[in-house]
Amino acid sequence: MTRPSAAHLIAFLLPATLLAGVWGAQLLGGLYPCEMCHWQRWPHYAALVLAGLGFFVPAGRGRTALVVLAALAIGVSGAIGVAHAGVEYGWWPGFTACTSTIDFTGLDPSQRLAAIMRAPLIRCDRAPWTLAGISLAGFNAILSLGGAITILVLMMRRTTR
């Protein structure tokens, strides 16, 4: 096996780091995700799998394809982050209703109603945390789109040499 390229490492480490950050914020910081937050995670999971598979594929077209697909998945997450940040900042209306953290498994209707009334609603149009006015969705947009562009530029440089 040949050594992974910088683009390949970024394609693996960027979604791994972003997912670790949001899971840490959720599990340790109590910042529960809304539905649009979950939408941003799925492409990162896909990118992580694609880039991870690239470590087991010999260098060449197969690995290149996996890294490019991972970059595209990261870019999709960034695009969803733009949409979500726009909803949070009030630039456009949201695409979804608010979500909750309720598990209805095994609950009868009266227990479901009681659970709904106790559970916090996680609104897609309110940022639960910001840094310098940038929400987690905004940071995902910046880092994911920047990372996807960086990966693709590095991949193009490799193929033109």
Structure tokens at 120: 């916090």
Helix, strand, coil percent values for the chain (each to nearest 5): 65, 5, 30
Classify domain 6-160 at the CATH class level: mainly alpha
122's enclosing H/E stretch is strand 121-122
- In the block, tokens 């979604």 appear at 15
- For the chain, the domains span 6-160
Q: What is the pLDDT of residue 131?
A: 83
Q: What is the pLDDT of residue 159?
A: 63
Q: What is the pLDDT of residue 28?
A: 93
Q: What is the pLDDT of residues 130-146, one digit of tens each?
A: 789 889 899 999 999 99
Q: What is the pLDDT of residue 59?
A: 80
Segments of the chain scoring below 70 in pLDDT: 1-2, 96-104, 119-121, 158-161
Residue 100 per-residue DSSP state: E
Burial readout 1-39 (b: 16 or more C-beta within 10 A, e: otherwise): eeebbebbbbbbebbeebbeebeebeeeeebbbbbbbeb
